[in-house]
Structure 1
Amino acid sequence: MRVYYPFPGTSNEIATYDEIYVESWEQALKECQMRSEEGGHERALQVKTLQNFRSELGVLMKQYPNEHTAKAISLIHPTLDHYETFAQNFVAMMESPVDTSMMWGSEYKERASALSRITKWLETIGHKLRASNDYYGNITDLEKVKGDTVEVNKEIVILWLNIIMTFRSQEPGTADNVDNDESAWEALSKIYNEAYQTIDEAVGRIEKVAEMAKRQARAMKEITMLQRYVSLGSSQGQATLPCNTLPVAENHRFFGRQNILREIEAHLTPADTNSRLSSIALYGLGGIGKTQIALAYAYQKLEHLDAVFWISAEDAYSVQLSFSRVAVDALKLPNAHAQAYQENMLLVRQWLQNTPAKWLLVFDNVDSHDVLDNCWPVSKHGAVLVTTRDEVIATLPIDTGLEVSEFDVEDGADFLLHMAPKRRRTAGEREAALGVAGELGGLPLALNQMAALINARNCTIADFGAMYAKHEHRLHKQRKSGWKYLGYEHGLDTVWELSFENLGEEARSCLGVLSFFAADLIPSDVFRTTTSAELPERLRFCEDELRHVSHFFKFLR
């Protein structure tokens, strides 16, 4: 596509968008050249690559031996790859060659007086570039984001130029002059805030383009799957029934949770083949017992249903494997073939839609709605049970959600005694069990893991309680025979790691603040602010009310 050339001093010559973007970029570089101090531009252009930049940082570490500056320089390294990837994306999408070496040169000149504030700026912008780099993988039409990509690169170069000009009077090896000049920092901070806002808005637009491209790709995939679905034809009347794909044997030591099982049954009523498709999600902390409840319910229904299928839903690949097992091993559908995962999933969905049989489908450990998008059954009857750590999953297309909470102290003590039959029994052990259950917060996984230790040591509950008080963290990592739930691979230490790994960097920062408060009744006003100057860089997201409320409520779930 060609448009009229918009730059001052030019005729209405016809130009491509790409030429416009290149001209805009070159003008930004010329501005840097004109404002650079004598000799500075030539030195900057010698630093052309990420490797050059890293080498120069090593030199700077020797030039600035004081601990504060050396630490600030060392913190630069983790974010450099985001800048390099963004620059590579920028060069790759342009039809004409562009030179990005000024970005590395400008940043190097600024680093000659690196301070912690500048490091934080680099880190914050680096986080934005990392997000942008992630989005590029979903974008098929890069023309839609070229303008914003050029804008981001311009802002980076011009920002570092202003930093250079602010620091140009600094003597080598010292930082006191500029560091103590609040008026200089105020002016520089204003420039940074404006640049960050422009970059933030540009990355936001890139994100929207990526999301639209992702939706279009998903729609095309659904159309393709529908075409394949139709071509497979009908396989009704040829399935092997009754059948199931439950992953482990029934847990005969399953304890309690009868009220939850009754609520599941009341909502699903899967035996009623004339009712609509019913679905419910169990949500709660990792290790709270969601999978065990789902297994207990599935085994209860085996005698009443024609088919019970278990789908491991950690990711799309696990889902496809589970559906293939249903098609090939359980239903034994004639058109099903090993390794034909997509076709097998379509065959099972078709069977669920058209069969008069009574069925229950369990999706275990769902972390994202995306996992369910391509495999949710389209049927006028049947039942779906979902387990998830995320309360948000318990929304459409799922009918409702049911929270699974910790055992109260009484039930926790009973569960501990139930799971530790090899303990040395003593008078008053229930009181000791109440104490241990209280210490463990009623978390079933923790109680089960500690019961396995009690069985292995053949000790009393009271003796174990005393040992736990001294060696809490070490005991969390110990594994003894019988500690593991059937079908659940994580221990007490790793289940918490999983929960934290799912948090983004902004949510982690939010959690860092929350950790200073008592657990209950934390006011949301803690995360509200009217002035960005009051916030460290990692909490700048609090300026956006929707973003900080979103992170705050993650922890309420």
Structure 2
Amino acid sequence: MPPPPGIWSVPASTSRNLAARDDLLAEIGAALARRGVAPLCGLGGTGKTKLAIEYAYRNAGAYDTVFLIDGQSQATMDASFVTLAAEMRLPDHEQLDPARAVGVVRSKLGRRGRWLLLFDGVRDPSEVEPYIPSVSHGGHILTTSQNPIWRGLTTVNVRGIERAESVRFLLQRTGETDAESADALAEELGDLPLALAQAGAYIEETGRPLAEYLALFRQRPAALLERPVSFPVTVATAWESSLAAVFSHQAAAELLSLCSFLPMDAIPRRSLSEYDPLALDDAIAMLRLHSLIEVRPHALSVHRLVKIVVRNQLRRDDRRRWMEAARRIVQASGRISPSTEEEREGRTEPESG
């Protein structure tokens, strides 16, 4: 769909790596209609940015101005607003410093409707507040963030795609008909859009059949989460900054390390009762800032690929330590322990030396 007349600064919509997520697109539309602001939140790799771009393309005719802003820092947002001031042909825009550009753009947009600003990659919701124009006249704000805490706003939680969509995507991308292997691979990848796109690209580049890729992934998961090298962002790199932040916080690092060895999808809170409740809450809060953990009423959940990446980053001694801690919790809960093979390797890559 071509963009409408007016200001349009949005990357091309690459639907090849995006499932048809009509339910989420409808949820975004409803949130914007209610409040004018819709934060898209979730783990890195769930397709938040592609979803926001897809929404912009599908609703292009409703806006005169659609502009994507790099929301990762004050500096990137300042630069985006200077560019937007020029696009809007505001008076003396060539002489506007960033602070003035932000002010005049906010003022101009706040007095009219039919505009959509997409703030991509927001780290802290408080950092974007000074840049948001009034939406009282019909303007809309879409944000993408790993941080799910947007006080006073209902967030759109972006998770993995439905299994049927995962299978359909893998079969279409690879040109194969092996639905059984596609289903099994989608299960291994936790239906994460980025991981599915990576797998499809790897199979396309190497010509390896789906069934063979599935077998290889079960043997070398961490290595394949770094491939293909031609892929712009991989699962292994998408969470680098988040994991670095978490591992600078001792309680959060310990909780994530432990969870990475627990085989259950839903980890009962009561199974962590031996830990100090305040320290546990601090750790959970830190992990939630990066969507590395999902909190349910009586349980916690960590995506299976996060577990693989975390286990692979741990030193051998730490791996043994957390594997043993996880064994105690699994045995106390009466669940089946991980297999001997999983215990020995922790589903990580072999260490050199």
Task: Give the TM-score normalised by structure 1.
Answer: 0.47
The question of 1:524 aligning with 2:269 is answered yes
Deviation at 1:416, TM superposition (A): 1.5
> What is the DSSP-based 3-state SS (H/G/I as helix, E as strand, rest coil) of the residue aligned with 1:361?
strand
Q: Between Structure 1 and Structure 2, which shows a larger proportion of strand residues?
A: 2
Counterpart in 1 of 2:92?
A: 335
Deviation (angstroms), 1:501: 1.9
Pair 1:409 & 2:147 matched: no
The answer as to whether partners of 2:19 and 2:165 remain within 8 angstroms in 1 is no
Aligned equivalent of 1:494: 237
1:532-543 to 2 correspondences below 5 Å = 542=276
Contact 1:336 1:347 in 2 (8 A): no
1:245 is matched with 9
Deviations 1:475-498 (A, max 9, x none): 2222355x44xxxxx311112323
Match of 2:82 among 302, 321, 324: 324
1:281–1:386 CA contact under 8 A, matched in 2:
yes
- Mapping for residues 44-443 of structure 1, pairs under 5 Å: 242-246=6-10, 248-253=11-16, 254-269=18-33, 278-328=36-86, 330-337=87-94, 340-355=97-112, 357-381=113-137, 382-393=139-150, 395-396=151-152, 399-421=153-175, 425=176, 429-443=178-192
Find the aligned partners of 1:244 and 1:547 in 2 and give their Cα distance: 47
Partners of 1:456 and 1:480 within 8 A in 2: no
Q: Deviations over 1:493-533 (max 9, x none)?
A: 1123233123223211232343453444434345556xxxx
C-alpha spacing 1:401/1:277, structure 2 compared with 1 (3 Å): closer
Task: Count the aligned residue pairs.
Answer: 281
Q: Which residue of 1 aligns with 2:282?
A: 550
- SS of 2:103's partner is helix
1:158-206 deviation per Cα after TM superposition (whole angstroms, max 9, x unaligned):
xxxxxxxxxxxxxxxxxxxxxxxxxxxxxxxxxxxxxxxxxxxxxxxxx
2:36–2:135 Cα contact (<8 Å) kept: no
What SS does the aligned partner of 2:68 have? strand
**1:462-481 alignment, distance < 5 Å:** 462-479=211-228, 481=230
Residue 338 of structure 1 deviates from its aligned partner by 6.5
Q: Structure 1: how far apart are the matches of 2:184 and 2:52?
A: 29
Higher helix fraction (1 or 2): 1
SS state of the match for residue 244, structure 1? strand
> For residue 371 of structure 1, what is the amino acid of its counterpart?
E
- The share of aligned pairs that are identical, in percent, is 28
Q: Which of 445, 448, 451 is equivalent to 2:197?
A: 448
Stretches of structure 1 lacking an aligned partner (at least 5 in a row) = 1-240, 270-275, 485-489, 530-538
The C-alpha deviation readout for 1:232-287, integer Å capped at 9, x for no partner, is: xxxxxxxxx711221x2122423211110111112324xxxxxx851111111100
Q: Return the letter of the residue paired with 2:294.
A: L
Please give the alpha-carbon distance, in whole angstroms, between the structure 1 residues aligned to 2:239 and 2:61: 36
Against the structure 1 CA distance between its residues 262 and 277, is the aligned structure 2 distance closer, same or farther, given a 3 Å change threshold?
A: closer
**2:109–2:134 Cα contact (<8 Å) kept:** yes
The AA in structure 1 aligned to 2:90 is L
Decide whether aligned partners of structure 1 residues 522 and 458 sit closer, same or farther in structure 2, where only a CA change above 3 A counts. Answer: closer
Matched residue, 1:32: none
Q: Which has the higher contact order (CA 8 A, sep 6+)?
A: 2
TM-score, length of structure 2 as denominator length: 0.72
Structure 1 residue matching 2:155: 3-state secondary structure: strand
Radius of gyration: which is bigger?
1
Aligned equivalent of 1:13: none
CA distance in 1, matches of 2:181, 2:145: 33
Give the Cα separation in 1 of the matches to 2:272 and 2:186.
34
